[in-house]
A and B are shown apart, each in its own frame.
Chain A
Amino acid sequence: MTASRTLTFQIFRHNPRDPGSEPGVRDYQVEETPGMTLFIALTRIREEIDPGLSFDFVCRAGVCGSCAMLINGRPGLACRSLTKDLPAVIRLLPLPGFELIADLSVNTGKWMRAMSERLQTWVHTASEVNPNEIEVGMDPDLAEAVYELDRCIECGCCVAACGTALMRPDFVGAVGLNKLARFRLDPRDDRGDAEYYQLIGDDSGIFGCMSLLGCQDVCPKELSLQTQIAFMRRAMARQGL
């Protein structure tokens, strides 16, 4: 590590529920330390400079999806972003596309629950399990492939990076399309393409995607969103014929 830098954080401040609050960007100066992440820096700002600063960290380990924000214009997980990979001036804005709670805190949870309700993101099965009996077998490779798509952490980065989502607030986003791709792959889900078509066979679903694929670029879990969207579009187009 070379001589330590003084970092300037330009952070969006606003509480929409406070009538006296004016949206704006405030500057904070922080001395960089080795291994510093945005979680460490923001915590220090709150503890030492501005105790009212709102942001969301839960796991601080890159697995819970709470802390997505715009980091110098790019959606990403703040907890695992190291300051050493960023310039000395770091601009932090709340994730666009979601309801603002305050400052850097946005309501991704509400958006994701609504998406799950709308797309029915659970295994649909008519059979009731008898938990005393040996489980139904599953091909080991298929189980791994399902898990691969199951790794989404609903952080909202793909929605924030999506051109369609900007124009169509009802667009289900790569997160939604990937989820249905996951259930479509899962033999435990009884639904067929006709049912999936009912859920995403329009411009708020698979046909809204303009293939800009910002989602794929920013996904912190490096999910194969491009491939999943392409497969889904082909399957749904076939249904629509």
Chain B
Amino acid sequence: MKIIHSDVLVVGGGLAGQRVALAVKRRGLEPSILSLVPAKRSHSVAAQGGMQASLANCFKGEGDNEDVHFEDTVRGSDWGCDQRVARMFAHIAPKAIRELAAWGVAWNRVRGGDHEVVINGQRLTLTERADAHGLITARDFGGTRKWRTCYTSDGTGHAMLYTLSDQVIAASIPVHERQEALALIHDGYRCHGAVVRDLITGELSAHLARATVVASGGYGRIYGISTNALINEGMGAALALETGVARLGNMEAVQFHPTAIVPTGILVTEGCRGDGGVLRDVDGHRFMPDYEPEKKDLASRDVVSRRMAEHMRAGKGVASAYGEHLWLDITQLGAAHIDKNLREVKDICRYFLGIDPARDFIPVRPTQHYSMGGIRTDYRGESQWLTGLFSCGEAACWDLHGFNRLGGNSVAETVVAGMLVGEYVADFCESGLGEQEISTALAREFVERERHSLESLVTRPGRENAVELRRRMERIMTDKVGLFRNGPDLDSAVAELAELLARSGDVGVNGNSGGSLGANPELVLAYRLPRMLKVALTVAMGARDRTESRGAHFREDHPARNDRDWLNRTLACWREGDTLPTLEYEELDVPTMELPPGFRGYGAKNIIDHPDTAPRQAEVDEMRAAKLDRYAAQSYLMSFKQFLPLKYRGRNERLDEPLP
């Protein structure tokens, strides 16, 4: 049996995984990264519009700071997030972006003086201050009170991922490309690494490490149409789930992005609307102001997506061979702006739709986009149920996004979480808990279990067709666990998925691949399918049992946000031998919230209050009335700096906020 040792095994080569690896390497530890694909091809590369960080450099960002970013994030989450994590995140984001700037990301910069912009359909002139010239600029995004989303044209993820990957290469960190973790090696208490399959040769090996970090992205591909890369199949969540002890958090929290093109589901960035684009219906009418007069096209993503679906239900959709859609109109921005700041959008329109977005409307509709749920961890990124298992980025639920993520907060989260979790992982490795004590017998047991299961896949007759079962799963998720949800549909989704899971045990690999255990896509689908179905079941069951509406989780039969009964986080685990996951709930603690639950300001207010909300709000109001400086007030309401690594506790400098 081949055994590979490292200090830290990172599963996933996207932004989060690579930033964790870099952090622990800088602490003198030896990380190694597993990636399904060459690291620079990870899904992080597809992030377009930008990264939120409260730099406050541009005119429309003036007055921005951590407090505003924090509040936008909490509101965006519909109060489902962990406010301590949101605070830590807002504090680190400016540091993360400045670090990336020093490493080479070519962030777009402020140009001092006058420039033209399109806001709410009007052409306006903004004047940028002279002392901001050359600093990192930002664009508008949904659900934010300031222009805070920093960008490199609309290839932000690409620029960040390439810069970070090159830093990883510079640090001589090994990236094991085309290698897939099949199972975590653990004894029920402590995680020791993973069983790994080489996708080129089929060889199995045991990767043992003091700490294992799952940073493998989301689970969007359990849906039929998704903006996600094909590799985002939720295998990280499945790894944790199949330990039988680690928990997944808020799996029912699934985001649908308003503007994916029809029919392929490829994303066009929220930056289109941030830069002044608008949504139009079959009559060419701009309909968002009718529904959301204040935020209009730049309401939070969950809200815009639902309003679009509502508008199509009202008969205002555009009919097409691929079902109904609406239009995204960026023609007003002009060719020069699009050529410079929305060039990926232009390419996508040209190659996949055969249109020019400077002249033509873009056909769009809401499409699965982001997984707020993931492996439940504490603020340090560690599973509370399996020591030595860490997770960060989209794979994790530490829980920055609650029930709805703001645009621009995902790539920001990847690097911020990578910086923080990397430090905590290094602390763990240096502590007594981080000592590695594992018998090779345990590793062998896990490797042999996987070997046996793969061999049985290629030798048994197999009466079920994996492609067919997968299509069925995708259809169920899209139709019954989508944008609008209801009890009867969710009941049947759970029942059908459970049946598919049972049937998936009878899939065989006996097509033209000749039952090869080597490079064989048929085998890969066969072993991933039951794992995907398990993940899908945690989503469907979480959605079925959560009888309220919060953020992206909308129940037509329970439209109110019910803080009284549901201000909590869903936890899912899958006990060995069970046919369904077990759900439990973790309460959110109102009396310690810096921002007590409130109204987000969309549509009509429909909230059942938590009994602790009013008393906590009174305390907060009293505190605000005292008019302390913002740092003192914040620290009084919810101190968080003691949880940060020492090196990251310093304040962030801004043009109007010099360092003390």
Q: Which residues of A contact B (CB under 8 A)?
A: 15, 17-18, 20, 34-35, 37, 46-48, 50-54, 56-66, 80, 82, 101-102, 105, 107-110, 112-113, 116-117, 120-123, 125, 127, 129, 131-140, 143-144, 146-147, 150-151, 153-154, 183, 186, 188-189
Contact = CB atoms under 8 A, between A and B. Distances in A.
Interface in B638-660: 650-655, 659
Contacts of B321: 34
A61 B135 contact: no
A140 B111 contact: yes
A99 B263 CA distance: 34
B431 interface: no
A80 B344 CA distance: 13
A91 B364 CA distance: 33
B649 to A, nearest CB: 9
6 contacts: A51-B525, A64-B229, A112-B40, A132-B650, A143-B106, A146-B106
Interface string B51-81: 0000100000000000000000000000000
Interface centre among A20, A108, A109, A134 (most CB of B within 10 A): A134
Nearest to B658: A134
Given A51-B521, A52-B516, A60-B264, A17 B200 contact: yes
A56 B36 CA distance: 11
Interface string B501-528: 0000000010111101011111001000
B46 A64 contact: yes
Contact of A60 (B177, B229, B344): B229
B513 A63 contact: no
Contacts of B38: 66, 108-110, 112-113, 154
B102 A125 contact: yes
Interface stretch (B151-159, B271-279, B329-337, B370-378): B151-159
Interface of B: 37-43, 45-46, 55, 94-99, 101-104, 106-111, 133-137, 152-153, 155, 158-159, 162-163, 166-167, 169-170, 175, 177-178, 200-201, 229-231, 263-264, 266-267, 321, 340, 344, 347-348, 351-352, 354, 467, 509, 511-514, 516, 518-522, 525, 650-655, 659
Contacts of A137: 109, 133-135
B41 A132 contact: no
A53 B55 CA distance: 49
B551 to A, nearest CB: 26
Nearest to B471: A47
Contacts of A125: 102
Contacts of B99: 129, 131
Nearest to A185: B106
Contacts of B42: 58, 64
A52 B458 CA distance: 12
A132 B158 contact: no
Nearest to B343: A151
A105 B201 CA distance: 13
B35 to A, nearest CB: 9
B527 to A, nearest CB: 13
B292 to A, nearest CB: 29
Contacts of B516: 15, 18, 52
Contact of B103 (A58, A62, A117, A123): A123
Contacts of B41: 58-59, 64-66, 109
Interface of A is mostly: loop
A101 B159 contact: no
A56 B37 contact: yes
A199 to B, nearest CB: 14
Nearest to A65: B41
B519 A135 contact: no
A15 B522 CA distance: 14
B512 A51 contact: yes
10 A-B pairs with least C-beta separation: A109-B38, A52-B513, A137-B134, A131-B95, A129-B102, A51-B522, A51-B511, A122-B166, A123-B104, A147-B106
Contacts of B167: 122
B108 A151 contact: no
Nearest to B38: A109
B263 A136 contact: no
A138 B98 CA distance: 12
Given A52-B520, A62-B351, A147 B155 contact: yes
A121 B347 CA distance: 26
Given A18-B516, A63-B158, A80-B352, A58 B135 contact: no
B347 A62 contact: yes
Contacts of B520: 52, 54
A42 B146 CA distance: 45
A65 B40 contact: yes
A122 B170 contact: yes
A58 B230 contact: yes
A181 B224 CA distance: 42
Nearest to A81: B351
